[in-house]
Amino acid sequence: MVGGRSGVEHLRGSRLLNTTVKLSSHELQTALAGQARALGFDCMGVTDPDAIVDAGRHLRAFLDAGAHGEMEWLALRPERRADPRVLWAGVRSIIMLGVNYGPDENPLAILQQRTRGAISVYARGDDYHDLIKRRLKTLARWLVAASGG
């Protein structure tokens, strides 16, 4: 949520949402990949909203099996997670980004030292949600400007 709104609502007036913008153009994707790398993203891909066949069925099976563990929020509004068009009817492309937040050393090595406590990798350092969110917002602003918004 951004200021009480869903994450995409604040972009509703942007040319980014205009179907005349060709996100799939090679030049824009190449520039986007470069900008993403410059911001510290390790990988980037662009796909269409139909890329995962039977996503809803797979998500439902995952949730029904309890595979989401204590991440109860994953079970909230599964229809929005299963189909990007439920969130954003005019979606044409989906940008996927990845960040390796793992340490340089083997995080399992600490388990051999019985006198020391082990802290999960995700709990070390700055909260990765905050780090990624900042980068995402910066990349979104760049994309709006680059696409004429």
Cut 0.75: pTM above it: no
Helices of type H across the chain:
26-38, 55-64, 78-82, 84-87, 128-146
- Evaluate whether 52 touches 84 at the Cβ level (below 8 Å): no
| Model confidence at 11: pLDDT above 70 | no
The share of the chain scoring above pLDDT 90, in percent, equals 52
Return the ∠ at Cα 97 (arms to 91 and 101), rounded to 5°. Answer: 150
Length of the chain as a residue count: 149
Confidence class for position 128, pLDDT limits 50, 70, 90: confident
Q: Is the pLDDT assigned to residue 12 strictly greater than 80?
A: no
19-56 per-position pLDDT tens digit: 444 444 788 999 999 999 999 999 999 999 998 889 99
Mean pLDDT, the chain, rounded, equals 84
Q: What is the pLDDT of residues 129-140, one digit of tens each?
A: 888 999 999 999
Confidence of residue 103 (pLDDT cuts 50, 70, 90): confident
Q: For residue 14, is pLDDT > 80?
A: no
Note the pLDDT tens digit of each residue in 60-72: 999 999 999 999 9
CA dihedral 74, 79, 84, 89 (to 10 degrees): -140
pLDDT of res. 91 = 92
What confidence score (pLDDT) does residue 5 get? 42
